[in-house]
Chains A and B, each alone.
Chain A
Amino acid sequence: MHKRIALVAVLAMVLIGGLVVVATAAEYVPGAPIKAGFIYIGPVGDYGWSHAHDVARQIVENEFPWLSTVYVETVGTGEVVSTVDKLVNDQHCNVIFTTSFDFMDGTVAAAAKYPDVIFAHNSGFKRAPNLATYMADFYQVYYLNGLAAGALTETNKLGYVGAVPIPEVKRHLNAFVIGALEVNPEATVDVRWINEWLNPAAAKEAAEALIADGCDVFAFTEDTPTVVQVAAENGFPSFAHYSPMYKFAPDYVVSGEMVHWDKIYADFLQKIYAGTYTAHNLQNVDYWWLLGQGSVEMAAEPGMAINPVYVDKLKAITIDHPTFGKISVYDLIETRLNQMSDPGITFDPYQGPIYDRKGNLQVAAGAWLSVDSLVSLEWAVKGVVGPWPGEP
């Protein structure tokens, strides 16, 4: 009898021991090779968000000999933990990047399950000792594009095809409007929402609807070059989003927003490799990288801030600016770009006084909006026309 109990006890201990081994990945030792796992919400073939992350993944993998990477694409919001299980247990990843706002709670749960694995979640705000957050944000670039758009419109109606009405998209859209109104107080921006991140047909029909309503310059948030193509087909200028789209309409893409996620990935991974970041000190690590850090760029394609076709046009349009007096739109864009790229930033698009379209003062005169307010922004700035789900 005793023997049997002892046997059961031994078996139980072996089993429990086995389980513990499964659930605990070895903690990373600085200087050892890093295996990073990337979890994408979309297909890497979307030519938008997930594509840009995957381009960055390949850049850092080629850059660092001590780094190897794997990725999983088209992962559902509820599949984060099970995907992490596979990446940690089967692929032996010691760093995991989850690249969608929707993965936030799943990443928090996974980080709690694997306290020795280093996690970084993209575009969220929940952190833990082994979970950092990071974002390369476009609002400055959208503002710069807005300056050009406000100058180029003839109908004073700009069109914006919005993906999903979350604070990130609203912040970008508002910044675009703020820029447009700075050079053209008569301008308005019509917005149409498609409520999806990737749907070329929806983006096309939304753009066509804007054209039917008289818009003549276009910006958008959707993961394909559709809006650029539709605008060009109708002879209208537009601004690229996320990936280089100049080549889709060389005569019509004025500029756009380019992302360089690799800058953030390189910095984060190097600091892990050097032992600066560990699975115990990430509670306050939040990358909020903008023009100044080089993680975003105003460009139709890398290196081309403004399409040469539009340079003379923008130089020829002069406005009476409250700060700079008589200035060409081209010079204004350059001045603002420099102000925001300098290490000691001297300008922010969300510089008060800014009123929302219901007439409430949202940013006091002379003040800048804090990062927290930017991240949770829900209001629509004056000049936005059209629906605004969740408007306070």
Chain B
Amino acid sequence: MGWESWVISTFARALAYGTPLLLGTLGEIFAERSGVLNLGIEGMMIMGAYSAFVVTYTTGHPWLGILVAAVVGGAFSLIHAFATVTLKANQVVSGLALTMLGLGLSGVLGRSWVGLPLFTTLRNVTVPGLSAIPIIGPGLFTRQNLLVYITMLLVPILWYILFHTRIGITIRAVGEDPAAADSLGVNVDRVRYLCVVVGGVFAGIAGAYLSVAYRPAWTEGMTGGMGWIVIALTIFAFWNPVYGLLGSYLFAALYHLSYRLQTWVSPELLKAMPYVFAIIILIFVSRGTLQKRMGSPAALGVPYTRGEE
């Protein structure tokens, strides 16, 4: 049990624990790129976890559960879109309300689903061929479920859409200067609605990952604050899907190591480690000049009303 075991377990756990964080972050990047801050990730995530569990448990099909979770997450985010885009409400307040609503609603609805074992879960796969590579094989291609790899593949696709397509330019324009975009004939409200819903869909899938793959069961409050990590990771990612992947896996690796290192370092200190890392990065990122350079959407958090400058 030498250093190999450390590399392997760190890689493997970074993927397994990092995937729901990455999913949530990818969605939030789109919402924030269009100028809408959504602090309701935790609420949408847990609604996704709940609905995916219920559907998978009743039908026996985990992918159906994931699909329904995506729809539920998207539908749930419409509340935020309606409040902030149509009614121009404060985005922070609306997002927080969404989180509380999601946690409370799933708790009440989920009462009779507690303590039920789920056996039709998203199975772990071992990639033939690749898994035979020493260290990288067991680290990256052994005992992971398909959603892990799908999420990974989504990263370059979303990056391409955001930075190299017309749709991406439109989204970023709306987040930077909605008035200018509007004057060019872009329907600001529609773009923001769409991006918020994309965020909800991804958060829903992230929740589904938790309840039908990562730890197949329903427990009230089972997202355990992951939605908040996503908010931090979105900033860490400089609103870029590629850095989102980096940040999510890095955070997850640290989270794993915080348990493996316990024999040598105090558990309390280790427990704080991933969060301290997030805070340091946030402080670093939020220095004004860097923020400008790194692509914080200029109109983030500001409701847009035509003709108001």
Contact = CB atoms under 8 A, between A and B. Distances in A.
Interface of A: 43-47, 51, 190, 192-195, 198-202, 204-206, 208-210, 212-214, 223-226, 229-230, 233, 243-244, 247-249, 385-387, 389
A380 B221 CA distance: 32
A204 B9 CA distance: 13
A247 B16 CA distance: 24
B252 to A, nearest CB: 9
A200 B219 contact: yes
Contacts of A243: 115
Interface residues of chain B: helix, strand, loop or mixed (majority): helix
Contact of B215 (A44, A204, A210, A247): A204
Contacts of A248: 117, 217
Interface of B: 1, 5-6, 8-9, 13, 16-17, 107, 110-111, 114-115, 117, 124, 210, 214-222, 224, 226, 255-256, 259-260, 262-263, 266-268, 271
Nearest to A206: B259
A229 B117 CA distance: 9
B13 A208 contact: yes
B122 to A, nearest CB: 12
Contacts, number: 113
Contact of A47 (B107, B114, B260, B271): B114
A223 B13 CA distance: 22
A198 B221 contact: yes
- Which of B16, B110, B262, B263 is most buried by chain A, counting CB atoms within 10 A of its CB? B262
A205 B13 contact: yes
B260 to A, nearest CB: 4
Nearest to B218: A45
Given A198-B221, A201-B210, A209-B256, A389 B267 contact: yes
B262 A192 contact: yes
Nearest to A208: B13
Nearest to B224: A199
Contacts of B1: 213-214
A199 B13 CA distance: 17
Contacts of A208: 9, 13, 16, 256, 259
A201 B224 contact: yes
Contact of A205 (B6, B17, B263): B17
A262 B234 CA distance: 48
Contacts of B256: 205, 208-209
